[in-house]
Structure 1
Amino acid sequence: MKFKSMYVLLAAAFASLSLAAQAFDPITVQDIRVEGLQRTDPGTVFNYLNVKVGDRFDQAQASEAIRSLFTTGFFDDVRIEVDGNILVITVEERPTVAQINVNGAKMLEKDQVKAAFKGQNLAEGRIFQQEVLEAAVNELKQQYFARGRYSVDVKTTVTKLDRNRVGIQIDITEGDVAKIKAINFVGNKVFSQSDLVARMSLTTPTWMTWYTKSDQYSKQKFSGDLEAIKSLYLDSGYLNFAIESTQVALSEDKADMFLTINLREGDLYKVGEVTFAGNFSLPTAELEKLVTAEKGEVFSRENINKSTAAIIERLGVEGYAFPNVNAVPTIDEEHKTVAFTFYIDPGKTTSVRRINIYGNNLTKDQVLRREVRQMESAPYDLAKIKRSKERLQQLDFFSEVNIDTPVVPESVDQVDVNINVVEKKTGNLNFGVGYGQGEGAIFQASVSQANFLGTGKRFAADINTSQVSKTFSLSMNNPYATPDGVSFGWTAYLRDTDPGEMDLGQYKISSKGVGFNFGMPTTEYNSLGLSVNVENMQFDTTKDSPTYVLDYIKEFGDSTMIYSLGANWGTDSRDSATFPTKGLLLKTSAEIGVPPSDINYYKLNFQSQYFYSLPTKKPYTFMWNIELGYGGVYSGSEDYPFYKNFYAGGVNSVRGYKSGSLGPRDNAGNSMGGSTRFVNNFEVYVPVPGMKDDKSMRLSAFYDAGNIWTYDQNIDFTSLQQSAGVGFTWISPIGPLKLIYAYPINAAPDAKKQSVQFQIGQIF
């Protein structure tokens, strides 16, 4: 059979097409035959041909058909021939990817590499295209570049397999991370090189960069650092400051990076007149108090932004949900001042139509709604909305809490409050091991559910063991036993204590008890608590036990029943419970033994912790802690019970002295504790050099003073045991770690000094 053939080649980028065979006359297609297909459905070819039986077909249509079939990416070769009036399409399909093997990936998981390839349309089961493979390799390199691996090498091997398939081998040599060798500033006169570098998260290698990785270049971090430097100048009065250019250079071996930042500092500006304009409903005197920028002081963008935010927030308290406040500057180049006019448009007062809650799949709606201070059908109040978010976050049931206030459609004076939460797992099964000097090795296991069945109730079962004590306890707490926020809880426990392990004398105490507690809020931030407790204690002594213990047991027996009432009050304005930088923590509590207890006693406790951010370039925090404890007896009781004694000394009170060792001693030299306790700590916290803004560790310098007095001793503050030293604290993955070096200043002759002290893991 003789064919008239037309062979059309697709040039690179489809710039032109040429016919390999002689021209043919247009035909009327009587049939279409497709040859060479293995996987592709013939219907796909017919769709791209744009011709059907009975149509006229010529060379121009043939060129267009070939172009369309090539652009599918399915074929390596396409030929169109005619046999009489029969159209014959012959194709050669591209192979499919049978498998992708990745070797040498350590920084990235193999699945991450394959996911990156899949994003470039290269995956097992898909059609193989060389240009797609090259694009995928380039994308993979970019991911390594973003992690500082500029010397990465990626080699690919494509192996043909049977049934028109290929296997792809990816061999990765990751190379070393490029380190920042130098950071240079050009044009800086106001601030030194070290001052500017201190503002950056990126650094040159230091003794801690193995941990922080801050010497590894990141484009995103570098952009943030440039903004931090800009903020430094703008907050220091340099209104026309600009970063004119930056250079990021890589050494020939791709191991070192060099950052150069060219600055134009400009002139220093001060604040001129501050005025207000617009339709504002607040008195001018009140607005002036909200503005922190004062005439004559150095211009600070931060102060202007804070002032604007303060005015917006204050208007929000008045019910204006969408106020518009703009601080418009007027620059006086001659006198180098900048005046500001705050243009205020409060908008319309707004009310809240509905409060909608989303994302609480487990937690019941009422658990969230009882924490919300903004009410439905009430005036909009930004302060209440912000406080609602704080209270929801304090529940610790959610990893995210977001609140937005969209306008109600077709109503300009109403908003909805939409609360979106992301629940986190609140059930814990924990096992832990720690060590504390004074407590010894500690094993801790607990099962707890902070949001029991989504009701907000807390249930916990704990086992804690150390050389000093072993405790087994169960507890339950309902923070909203009444709609008004009165809480109720109970606890039951068994505890074995061996004071001999702390050099407090050779005796043991076994106790079991049950307690009930009630709490009620007195203000938005303060709370009052009450408790009722019943405890039975058994004493196990030997002939070597302390005399005061044997005398007590001789008078009252080797077991005692205690019925006690307790009350506590506290307030907490700290900005963090872990590493506070400002705020005040106050805690007071009282405990009293009541009839039919075997002995009538009382205990009073007071603690005050004050945190203050020092006005220094680096984030230094001053802390002043005072703890007072006093115990006594009443109603005919003569001896204060030794098992209610206070103790001091150790990592968490007066450092440099052995745990519990301060105060009077018995005839055998054992610490007795006492009925009066005083501890005072002054401490300055500083960041660890080289750690920048790391929030998990810090250094400190401290001065401690404290002592213990017995019931029949006069309180003498001249007898305070003192120490000074330095400390290191790290919130490690296994729990808090404290390392202390302290020097006892005026240790008594019989003091049990301990200059190096440490504690690992949380002590319960």
Structure 2
Amino acid sequence: MNKLLPILLFLSFISVAKAESFTIEDIRIEGLQRISAGTVFNYLPVKVGDTMTDNDAKGIIRSLFKSKYFNDVEVERQDNVLVIKVKERPAISSIELVGNKDMDSAELLKSLREIGFGEGQVFEQAMLERVELELERQYFSRGKYGVAISSEVTPLSRNRVAIRITMAEGVVATISEINIVGNHAFDDEELMTDFQTTTGSLLSFLTKDNQYSRQKLSADLETLRSFYLDRGYVDFTVESTQVSISDDKKHMFITINISEGEKYKINQVRLAGNLIVPEDELFKLVTIRENSVFSRKAITKSTENLTNRLGNDGYAFANVNAVPEIDREKREVDLTFFVDPGRRAYVRRINISGNSKTRDEVLRREFRQQESAWISTEKVEQSKARVSRLGYFENVNVETIPVAGVQDQVDLDFGVTETPSGSLSAGIGFSQSDGLIFNANVT
């Protein structure tokens, strides 16, 4: 029907297109049931007194059809009266959702209404098809790849329809196999030790770790990349990943194709830039050394050490970048740490928020960083740790905020989340002798 509609609309204005132009003395709308004549007039590009042309006829049909209120539009001339015959799209009388155990009906109906598919709104077959596809996508994201979505449209009186959407959810597909192809230096088991995606365990019914998630797989690929980069494989790449599913939609199979590349060593380590701290003192903070295996983890740790050391002297915005120069023939890396201390700053004010039950003084007596003193990364972290150890707060966060209009001042914002007066905690464990062990306590 959708493909035939443009043809029908075209044929409907052929007679007008071939007719001579005329002055519109009146406009009559025929076929309206629920839609008001005023609504139709709002969409018309002509009015009484205008000269009607073939282009106007095309414009009328195009405009009314674009409104999505009508399935069919015809434009005719009766003497000097413009007659517009329409066939309204039906209105949605009701939407019934059946079989949706994973998704709340009220939330689904609310979401459908927000996209223009709700009770009282105009029914479009194309929109129903999009709804089915979106529901299917939602179930896929929950691991239910065997879901079947069907719909039934029942015509009612007064040009209305009742819609019934049935969801046969099926079961969650679980990961049956994970294979890594191209690994020679390490076996699959070692490489997948820290993967979030697994083929399951005794507690998978709780952890859901054997259910496929694109986000978890992406995180696992980054974990795999880090594993190799921390062991000298500078040129490591993930060449491709394939995710397939069994015919019954219950089992998934993941294949990760990799290229390990060669193993590299560090040839030289240098410090460059504005070294406001003695170079020998800074160099002691570098954990990667000449002739050691290249390691991104060690480089990151060295960068953090250097940044924190500068931060202890008030350089809160210090920037340290590690730049490698790779010699692929010798399989060696020259590493330069470029140091930019930035500006030195002292703490103007320490603000506290979130403590509705605990007085400010209780927190401030734990602070090791003081106002009107040079900021110290170490003292800020000590202050945060001491406040956390009080046991009054679930979370303690610290933000360093530059003071507007000045270059050498910052504010520290301590944000805390207080622990509820009473809380319930529960846990589950497993032992060879006792099997599953559940525990709970109230504090």
Tell me which interval the TM-score lies in, with the shorter structure as reference length: 0.7 to 0.9
8 Å CA contact 2:15, 2:76 repeated in 1: no
1:329 aligns with 2:327: no
How far apart, CA to CA, are the structure 1 residues paired with 2:348 and 2:47? 63
How far apart, CA to CA, are the structure 1 residues paired with 2:8 and 2:282? 69
1:21 counterpart residue number: 15
Q: TM-score, normalised by structure 2?
A: 0.86
2:185 counterpart residue number: 190
How far apart, CA to CA, are the structure 2 residues paired with 1:13 and 1:224? 48
How far apart, CA to CA, are the structure 2 residues paired with 1:90 and 1:238? 73
1:157 counterpart residue number: 152
User: How far did 1:373 drift?
Assistant: 5.0
User: How far did 1:231 drift?
Assistant: 0.9
* Equivalent position SS for 2:40: helix
Higher relative contact order (CA 8 A, sep 6+): 2
1:428 aligns with 2:419: no
* Equivalent position SS for 1:428: coil
Q: CA RMSD in A?
A: 3.4
1:258 counterpart residue number: 253
1:213 counterpart residue number: 208
1:57 counterpart residue number: 52
How far apart, CA to CA, are the structure 1 residues paired with 2:336 and 2:304? 15
8 Å CA contact 1:268, 1:336 repeated in 2: yes
Structure-2 change in CA distance of 1:56 and 1:292 (3 Å): same
Q: Which amino acid is the alignment partner of residue 178 of structure 1?
A: A
1:231 counterpart residue number: 226
User: How far did 1:192 drift?
Assistant: 0.6
Aligned-residue identity in percent? 42
* Equivalent position SS for 1:285: helix
How far apart, CA to CA, are the structure 2 residues paired with 1:140 and 1:43? 36
1:594-613 alignment runs, 5 A limit: none
1:123 aligns with 2:118: yes
8 Å CA contact 2:355, 2:418 repeated in 1: no
User: How far did 1:335 drift?
Assistant: 2.6
How far apart, CA to CA, are the structure 1 residues paired with 2:306 and 2:43? 64
2:165 counterpart residue number: 170
User: How far did 1:120 drift?
Assistant: 4.2
8 Å CA contact 2:9, 2:73 repeated in 1: no
Question: Which is higher, the Rg of structure 1 or of structure 2?
Answer: 1
8 Å CA contact 2:9, 2:72 repeated in 1: no
Q: String of CA shifts for 1:248-269, please: whole Å, max 9, x gaps.
A: 1111221221111111001111
User: How far did 1:236 drift?
Assistant: 1.0
How far apart, CA to CA, are the structure 2 residues paired with 1:729 and 1:205? 16
1:379 aligns with 2:374: yes
1:46 aligns with 2:37: no
User: How far did 1:336 drift?
Assistant: 1.6
8 Å CA contact 2:182, 2:257 repeated in 1: yes
1:286 aligns with 2:281: yes
8 Å CA contact 2:147, 2:170 repeated in 1: yes
Q: Which amino acid is the alignment partner of residue 251 of structure 1?
A: S
8 Å CA contact 1:74, 1:93 repeated in 2: yes
1:404 counterpart residue number: 399
8 Å CA contact 1:402, 1:420 repeated in 2: yes
The structure in which a higher percent of residues are strand is: 1
* Equivalent position SS for 1:257: strand
How far apart, CA to CA, are the structure 1 residues paired with 2:209 and 2:85? 59
Q: Which amino acid is the alignment partner of residue 66 of structure 2?
A: T
More displaced stretch, 103-112 vs 383-392: 383-392
8 Å CA contact 1:183, 1:197 repeated in 2: no
Q: Which amino acid is the alignment partner of residue 286 of structure 1?
A: E
User: How far did 1:393 drift?
Assistant: 4.7
1:285-304 alignment runs, 5 A limit: 285-304=280-299
8 Å CA contact 2:9, 2:74 repeated in 1: no
How far apart, CA to CA, are the structure 2 residues paired with 1:30 and 1:365? 80
8 Å CA contact 2:45, 2:59 repeated in 1: no
Gaps of at least 5 residues in structure 2 are none
Structure-2 change in CA distance of 1:42 and 1:698 (3 Å): same
User: How far did 1:68 drift?
Assistant: 1.9
2:82 counterpart residue number: 87
Q: Which amino acid is the alignment partner of residue 334 of structure 1?
A: E
User: How far did 1:178 drift?
Assistant: 1.4
Q: String of CA shifts for 1:461-505, please: whole Å, max 9, x gaps.
A: xxxxxxxxxxxxxxxxxxxxxxxxxxxxxxxxxxxxxxxxxxxxx
User: How far did 1:173 drift?
Assistant: 1.0
Q: String of CA shifts for 1:713-758, please: whole Å, max 9, x gaps.
A: xxxxxxxxxxxxx89896x4x51xxxxxxxxxxxxxxxxxxxxxxx
Structure-2 change in CA distance of 1:239 and 1:14 (3 Å): farther
1:366 counterpart residue number: 360
Q: String of CA shifts for 1:402-435, please: whole Å, max 9, x gaps.
A: 44334334434333434555x56724387x9x9x
Structure-2 change in CA distance of 1:316 and 1:148 (3 Å): same
1:202 counterpart residue number: 197
Q: String of CA shifts for 1:157-191, please: whole Å, max 9, x gaps.
A: 12223343322212111112212221111111111
Q: Which amino acid is the alignment partner of residue 428 of structure 1?
A: G
2:267 counterpart residue number: 272
1:524-539 alignment runs, 5 A limit: none
User: How far did 1:88 drift?
Assistant: 3.3
Structure-2 change in CA distance of 1:406 and 1:165 (3 Å): farther
1:311 aligns with 2:306: yes
Structure-2 change in CA distance of 1:368 and 1:146 (3 Å): farther
2:244 counterpart residue number: 249
8 Å CA contact 1:318, 1:381 repeated in 2: yes
8 Å CA contact 1:407, 1:414 repeated in 2: yes
Structure-2 change in CA distance of 1:161 and 1:239 (3 Å): same
* Equivalent position SS for 2:326: strand
8 Å CA contact 1:405, 1:417 repeated in 2: yes
Residue from 122, 138, 144 that aligns with 2:133: 138
1:453 counterpart residue number: none
More displaced stretch, 284-293 vs 33-42: 33-42
Structure-2 change in CA distance of 1:386 and 1:698 (3 Å): farther
Q: Which amino acid is the alignment partner of residue 172 of structure 1?
A: M
How far apart, CA to CA, are the structure 1 residues paired with 2:431 and 2:240? 37
Structure-2 change in CA distance of 1:353 and 1:190 (3 Å): same
More displaced stretch, 202-211 vs 184-193: 202-211
Q: Which amino acid is the alignment partner of residue 257 of structure 2?
A: N
8 Å CA contact 1:151, 1:255 repeated in 2: yes
Residue from 73, 76, 86 that aligns with 1:78: 73
1:91-102 alignment runs, 5 A limit: 91-102=86-97
Structure-2 change in CA distance of 1:415 and 1:40 (3 Å): farther
Structure-2 change in CA distance of 1:257 and 1:36 (3 Å): same
User: How far did 1:377 drift?
Assistant: 4.3
Q: Which amino acid is the alignment partner of residue 271 of structure 2?
A: F
1:114 aligns with 2:124: no
8 Å CA contact 1:99, 1:166 repeated in 2: yes
1:571 counterpart residue number: none
